[in-house]
Amino acid sequence: MTRLDVVTIGNALVDVLSYEDDDFVARVGVERGATTMVDATRSEEIYREMGPATEVSGGSAANTAAGVASFGGSAAFVGRVADDAFGKIFAHDLRSAGVTFESPFSGNDLPTGRCLVIVTPDAQRTMCTYLGTASALDAQYIAPDIVGNALVTYLEGYLWDQPEAKAAIRKAAELAHRGGQRVALTLSDPFCVERHRGEFTELIDGNVDILFANEQEILSLYQVDSFDEALAHVRGACEVAALTRGSRGSVIVAGDDVQVIEAHPTQVVDTTGAGDLYAAGFLYGFTQQRPLEMCGRLASLAAAEVISHLGARPETSLRELASRVLAT
């Protein structure tokens, strides 16, 4: 196995996206802007209510891997899909994006997971995830020749919603640190932080080197009211924290080094994947040993590309975009 820049571990999902009006979210009864976990029956019910949809591969951590590959970095993804149409679409899209994906098809009769993405006129997305076989991620699928070989092992917070995945997460973090590599975590969603605050705080304290969170998530994690308080907390907890603030850009903290990065201007169509691609740009820069400020600019550029169209993966080569826009 050759050396990898980044391996990401998360729920393998195909996104089913449709444009809906604001009433739709209220009618379906889910939390606007957040991710709600649903079972197979509820997923079918909501799908029946949705308008004509577009299917594209998604899954937060998988989107990040695709982003790293689009920059020209070497990336792998670990997660589970079934041997069905959605599973084949997921595997195809990831591999053809240049991402190493070797997790075997699961054989547990659960279908490939799907995420119903409701895009409202304000370009905000509301997500309803049915995990399906994505939940079958246990420790045996954390291949040491993949995780041990990556400069950064990136975990999505959504994994904590599956009790079985916890052993896999621990194994991945141990393998990474044993090889002297970095562990990165994204908090994923404010409600996810609500559900797992204790475990996240414990993990971050000593086991996470690079933390990604948006403003709501980091305020919720430390149960504080101001961004500055959250910043003070996170500064001591991990080597680097990259905190995103939507259109107000992001702040990167590494000990005494604080970089304030502007959002890259764009026409927003669909915010799905903004955080995932921010992480991709950051991690690509980080593994190329670029200064933190450039990591932040690459992150903002990737996020801007993905929110300018429907779907959570880049539609243009981020490598070419970066060389044109940032002259990297």
Distance, CA of 98 to CA of 284 (rounded, Å): 14
Asked whether 147 and 75 are in contact (CB, 8 A), the reply is no
Considering the complex, what minimum distance in angstroms separates the CB of residue 97 from its own copies?
5
DSSP string, 167-215: HHHHHHHHHHHHTT-EEEEE---HHHHHHHHHHHHHHHHHH-SEEEEEH
174 CB-side CA count, 13 A: 10
Considering the complex, what minimum distance in angstroms separates the CB of residue 206 from its own copies?
37
Judged by CB under 8 A, the residue of 23, 29, 41, 52 near its own copies is 52
Give the angle 70-75-79 at the CA atoms, nearest 5°.
115
Nearby residues of 148 by Cβ (< 8 Å), 6 or more positions away:
175, 176, 178, 179, 181
Distance, CA of 320 to CA of 211 (rounded, Å): 27
**Nearer CB in complex with its own copies: 57/149:** 57
Q: Which stretch binds its own copies (CB under 8 A): 46-54, 154-162, 208-216, 237-245?
A: 46-54
Considering the complex, what minimum distance in angstroms separates the CB of residue 96 from its own copies?
5
Distance, CA of 129 to CA of 158 (rounded, Å): 10
**Nearer CB in complex with its own copies: 96/108:** 96
Regarding beta strands 54-57 and 75-78, do their DSSP bridges make them parallel or antiparallel, or are they unpaired?
unpaired
Write the binding mask 103 to 142 for its own copies: x where contact by CB under 8 A, - elsewhere: ----------------------------------------
Phi then psi dihedrals of residue 230, to 5 deg = -60, -40
**Nearer CB in complex with its own copies: 3/48:** 48
Size of the chain in residues: 328
Write the binding mask 262 to 281 for its own copies: x where contact by CB under 8 A, - elsewhere: --------------------
Contact call for residue 92 and its own copies (CB under 8 A):
yes
Considering the complex, what minimum distance in angstroms separates the CB of residue 98 from its own copies?
9
Q: In which element (H, E) is residue 156 found?
A: strand 150-156
For the beta carbon of residue 194, count every other beta carbon within 10 angstroms: 12
Residues 3-22 that bind its own copies (CB under 8 A): 19
Tokens read off for 257 = 């080094």
**Nearer CB in complex with its own copies: 96/223:** 96
Q: Which stretch binds its own copies (CB under 8 A): 34-42, 48-56, 219-227, 295-303?
A: 48-56
Considering the complex, what minimum distance in angstroms separates the CB of residue 157 from its own copies?
25
Judged by CB under 8 A, the residue of 1, 26, 40, 85 near its own copies is 85
Please choose, from the candidates 78, 69, 90, the residue with its C-alpha nearest in 3D space to the C-alpha of residue 5: 69
Size of the site for its own copies (CB under 8 A): 24
Q: Which stretch binds its own copies (CB under 8 A): 86-94, 135-143, 151-159, 284-292?
A: 86-94
Q: Which residues bind its own copies (CB under 8 A)?
A: 19, 47-48, 50-57, 66, 84-86, 89, 92-94, 96-97, 311, 313, 315
